Structure 1
């Protein structure tokens, strides 16, 4: 959705008295920085920002990263995204390429900027075949894409480094709006009175689009002064008086800065010119969230689960190709990035779309669609997170650490656990303590309200259901005993496969999909968004054993040969197993009861 439409929707809502907010992120310079940023964006999603924006780095690898970040934020994280686009070093063909990629990803918002001078020259010059002013870029986007994009432009309440705050500067801003801009995001500032007076001047000259103040948190005293001086903005006396006495104490500076900025933001909101705050995060989260929390703008947990706020038990993509996606295999529950990448080439009608999904859908995309690595951590970070396991007990202990929240990710789990598994936590811990390494799971749920804070999803006044599910590694030497234990004709169904593709199953029809999550809602068909089925399980098996191989290579290249040998053993001597308890009504944990017999 376009930014201006989201802002208007909030004004028209019952909560129109409550301000909204957004976050800005910049492009990291390293692959590990990108992964850390995705993790941070994912956490900050829970605060329900109206949108995020991604800065633009003209030319080379970083400009590619800008469009990649936009696409991932839209497609995987389900975050409404605004992409910066500048005139700096950008001939029209590069602008066209960036806009096309934004359009294809479902991004509907562009912040059109002239851009800063290149660091190498310190002087801004129009590049050959490019634009000289932001208004020209705005006009070009509007002429090329019509009304598809909402276009934002920059505003400077205290002037631009190359232009003082004069009526002429306001005229330049009006030219950008007249060229087709839909909203204004301002440079950082600390003087609320200057900003409010500037807003008054904008309205007097007929600029009536939303004005969004850019809020820069105060994290350290040195950074506070450096940014204020660089942007040439006025520091109010009360800011200086409050910060000077604590300037050597970073924690105290952050706390005092939070109080000052929260008071400033409240003054902006009370002025009547502002309904939305744009937080310059500097790719950090705590300082921005402290300000929003002090203002009372962070959603209470019970407010998050409302009609259509959580449409599916997995994160809904905003990519236009995936807008009707209604079913996902449970195997990628904690690896949404790779699932979206491996299905990115599917057309809209090739996504599973039947009641139980369509197991005859095209094969999942090749693993090379995921880039150079399936493990989303750098080798150094992988060693820091997971050390050098030498025994299966070490692997089990890593999983236990993940279950207990001490480790935020595993090689095969990109995202942290939520509270869904709390009800089966003792059983999961017991299995891992006995060297049955669990990889994915969900508990049995029988008709919980769809607004439940842990299991709820979908429209209000509905009921959700889950079959208990467990995925784990089992020594192949115990497969025969496992198969005899489970048998046929029970409520338990399973698939087991090794790295050599030898498959075992007791499914009565292993070509059919087994719904393991579903919901009943007023006036709707049964929604069954999570399934287990053979085709996707075999695709996941391929990915899982490739992950083990990548992890092995990281360890062997660093000289940890015992650890590398352990991962070779996992690949050669273990099978990947999933099991579903199709009895979601009768109390008890039949999966755990059966597996205990293998200890």
Structure 2
């Protein structure tokens, strides 16, 4: 959705100011993975109107990371995203590639910039076959894509470093708006009186598009001075008076600096020109949220309930190819990145029914769709997070730490555990102590209101249901005993498969998708957004064992030979099992009782 439409839509129903976050592209693959987690976490805690991603010009890895970040934030995280695009070192073919990538991912917002000179250049020079000014880039985007994109441009309330003449800067800004720009995002500033005066001059110059101020948190004294110097920003004397005496105390600088920025924002929001704040996060969480908390802008509990994060148990993708997607297999519950990547080539009409339940269909893309690796962590990060488990007891303790929230991910679980697990927590811990390694789970739910803070999803005034589900690693030696017990309890259905693709199940041959989550809502058909079925489970099995193999490679790189041998034993001696308890009204935990009896 376009930013200007979102701003207008919000203001029609609520006078409360809105905000957005800006992130820059990290230099390392591990940094990118960490940023995805931070973007997701900040969205869940604050519900920004949109986020934006800076552009790294010049082609190569960094430029590709810019488009990858935009695509992932739209398609996987379901965040409304604005992509920066500059003229620096950009031939038209490269601009075309970037715009096409944004279009295909469903991104409808571009911040069109001339850009800064490359680091090794003194002055900015246009690229041969590219554009010299942002207005030319805007005109080109409008020519190619019409009104599809909302286009933002940069505003300079303290003047452009290359053009001190205020009148000329206003003229250039007007030219960009006349070329097709829809909104203005300003450079950082701390002189709020000057900014408000500039807004007045912008309006008097005939520019009436939304003005969005760029807000830079103060996190440390040296960084504060460096950023202001880089942007040639005027710092009011009272900022120095308060910050200079405490410059060696980072915590105090952040505390006082936050109060100064909050005071500045309050004055902006009362000026009549501003109703949205754009925060330059510098890829950090705490300072940005401190500002919003002190401004009393963070969503209240009632706002979470009236505007749920997701109308499904998983966050809806904003990629237009996935607009009809209402069903996902439960196996990827905590691995949305690989799931979206492996289903990225599905056609619009293949969501939700075109793939599931058809064993002859090549339901999922190859594993190399996920960027060459399924483990989202570097070798060093794997060691920091999971150390070097050498026994099944070590692995069990690692899983228990995850269940208790002491670590945020496991090799097969990208997402932190949520509090839905509390209903099963003691049982899951006992199973791991018994050396049954739990991989994924959900509790039984029978008609809980859709507004419930833990289990709720979907439209309000509805009711949600879940069958208990458990996925786990079991020693092969215990599988015959498990099969025998499951033969006596037809309500429990299961799949079990080993590394060699030997599959056993008590599902009938003509069995298709088994809905394990569903919702009943006024005036709607039944929604059943989470399922278990054979084709998906076999695709997940392939991915799961590949994750173990990649983990083993990282352990080899860390010279952890005992751990390497242990992971190999998991591949050879364990079977991946999932069980569904189809009796969703029973108060008993039949899956737990069965496994504890093995």
TM-score with structure 2 length normalisation?
0.98
Residue pairs, 1:368-517, within 5 angstroms = 368-509=368-509, 511-517=511-517
1:301 is displaced (CA, Å) by 3.4
1:192 is displaced (CA, Å) by 0.9
Q: Is the 8 A contact 1:21 1:279 kept in 2?
A: yes
Partners of 1:353 and 1:287 in 2: CA distance: 44
Partners of 1:358 and 1:163 in 2: CA distance: 64
Partners of 2:371 and 2:139 in 1: CA distance: 36
Q: Is the 8 A contact 1:334 1:414 kept in 2?
A: yes
Other structure's SS at 2:306 match: coil
Residue pairs, 1:84-163, within 5 angstroms = 84-163=84-163
Residue pairs, 1:186-197, within 5 angstroms = 186-197=186-197
Other structure's SS at 1:460 match: coil
Q: Is the 8 A contact 2:357 2:534 kept in 1?
A: no
Q: Is the 8 A contact 1:307 1:458 kept in 2?
A: no
Q: Is the 8 A contact 1:510 1:534 kept in 2?
A: no
Q: Is the 8 A contact 1:155 1:187 kept in 2?
A: yes
Count matched residues: 596
Match of 1:256 in 2: 256
Q: Is the 8 A contact 1:581 1:591 kept in 2?
A: yes
Q: Is the 8 A contact 2:357 2:535 kept in 1?
A: no
* Alpha-carbon RMSD: 1.4
**Structure 2: runs of 5 or more not aligned:** none
Match of 2:7 in 1: 7
Residues 95-104 or 227-236, more deviating? 227-236
Residue pairs, 1:487-566, within 5 angstroms = 487-509=487-509, 511-566=511-566
1:355 is displaced (CA, Å) by 12
Alignment CA distance shift 1:86-1:170 (3 Å): same
Match of 1:203 in 2: 203
Q: Is the 8 A contact 1:355 1:528 kept in 2?
A: no
Match of 1:51 in 2: 50
Residue pairs, 1:267-346, within 5 angstroms = 267-306=267-306, 309-346=309-346
Q: Is the 8 A contact 1:442 1:469 kept in 2?
A: yes
1:551-594 Cα offsets, whole Å, 9 max, x none, are 11111232111100101100110000000111111112111111
**Structure 1: runs of 5 or more not aligned:** none
Match of 1:35 in 2: 33
Q: Is the 8 A contact 1:92 1:130 kept in 2?
A: yes
Partners of 1:4 and 1:282 in 2: CA distance: 24
1:531 is displaced (CA, Å) by 0.1
Other structure's SS at 1:305 match: helix
Is 1:164 aligned with 2:164?
A: yes
Partners of 2:331 and 2:165 in 1: CA distance: 56
Partners of 2:290 and 2:365 in 1: CA distance: 42
Q: Is the 8 A contact 1:390 1:566 kept in 2?
A: yes
Other structure's SS at 1:459 match: coil
Match of 1:212 in 2: 212
Alignment CA distance shift 1:409-1:370 (3 Å): same
Other structure's SS at 2:118 match: coil
1:337-357 Cα offsets, whole Å, 9 max, x none, are 000000011111123238987
Match of 1:350 in 2: 350
Other structure's SS at 2:325 match: coil
1:245 is displaced (CA, Å) by 2.0
Match of 1:22 in 2: 20
Match of 2:366 in 1: 366
Residues 344-353 or 424-433, more deviating? 344-353
Q: Is the 8 A contact 2:356 2:363 kept in 1?
A: no
Partners of 1:305 and 1:501 in 2: CA distance: 44
Residues 233-242 or 274-283, more deviating? 233-242
Q: Is the 8 A contact 1:52 1:79 kept in 2?
A: yes
